[in-house]
Structure 1
Amino acid sequence: MSRDMRPVAGLLLGAILGGALVQAHTYQVRNALLAQSRLSQLDARHWRQESLRLRDQIAEINRKREKKTFVQSVNLEVMKSPVPLIDVEAALEPYTESLLGIPLSDVKLSMVYQLYQGRRLVLGEHIYRVEVKALLVSPEVVVLLHLTPLGRTSRG
């Protein structure tokens, strides 16, 4: 090799060694990041499974608690009532009483709806049809009713 080529060869050899060192460092960093990524994925999987386990535990607790929960009261509310609420409550008391004490898990909206919907009430000298407008089923059941006058009774 000629003397003029030695500096170029040294420079080229230095560049190759420098590139190899950079590549080795990049390879180490890449491997470290891959290992960290795998650990993060395992950690995420663990916490996802833990989250699902806790969700199932909470659902089970809620199911057990719901089975122990009973209908404690039934509140009737009448929209623009033409008669006193106490009279409506007294007329519907047999239906209201039948709900008390039932496990909340057994109470269905359709059941409560059918219990009151379309009933005919005689209050004073008037006949009213009961329409259920809204329901809230919880330990304190709330039934929003509307009374439609159908006519007068024929007493005499």
Structure 2
Amino acid sequence: MYELTITRLIDAPVEKCWDVLANRQEEWWCPAPWRIEMVAQERHAGGRSAMVMKGPEGEEMPQEGVFLSWEDGTRFVTTDAVSLADGIYTPSDPFMIGIWEVVPEGDGTRYSASARHWTEEAMLQHKEIGFEQGWGAVADQFVALCEG
């Protein structure tokens, strides 16, 4: 499996972390000063997951995909291998499957975010373009909201 993962131990209850994970994505999803504008979140397997990443200079990067799984209170899984518009699923040029999860650990919560890739080359490309720095910054923003 070609996977990259970021984890953090958070000093907050899993219920609070889930609320931030599921309901406050616009506050932590992109490394600042980038942000997202949520377009659609159909929170069930097969539902649309769409957002636009917005940069400080007016850059826009649309992201379309579908949820493969939504396990309320624990985790969700998305992929960009398929897009959904007007009720029609369309194959896309896949980059990854993303998995976001919060689970109780000790007195706090373990957060993990993983990117699974179809090939080793895609995984290495993701690593080279800054997976650890970008997803690490996002994880730190997420932790700050959960612990704040």
Question: Which of the five TM-score ranges fits, normalised by the shorter chain?
Answer: under 0.3
Tell me: higher relative CO, structure 1 or 2? Use CA pairs within 8 A at least 6 residues apart: 2
Q: Specify which structure has the higher proportion of strand.
A: 2
Q: Specify which structure has the higher proportion of helix.
A: 1
- Normalised to the residue count of structure 1, the TM-score between the two structures is 0.23
Pair member with larger Rg: 1
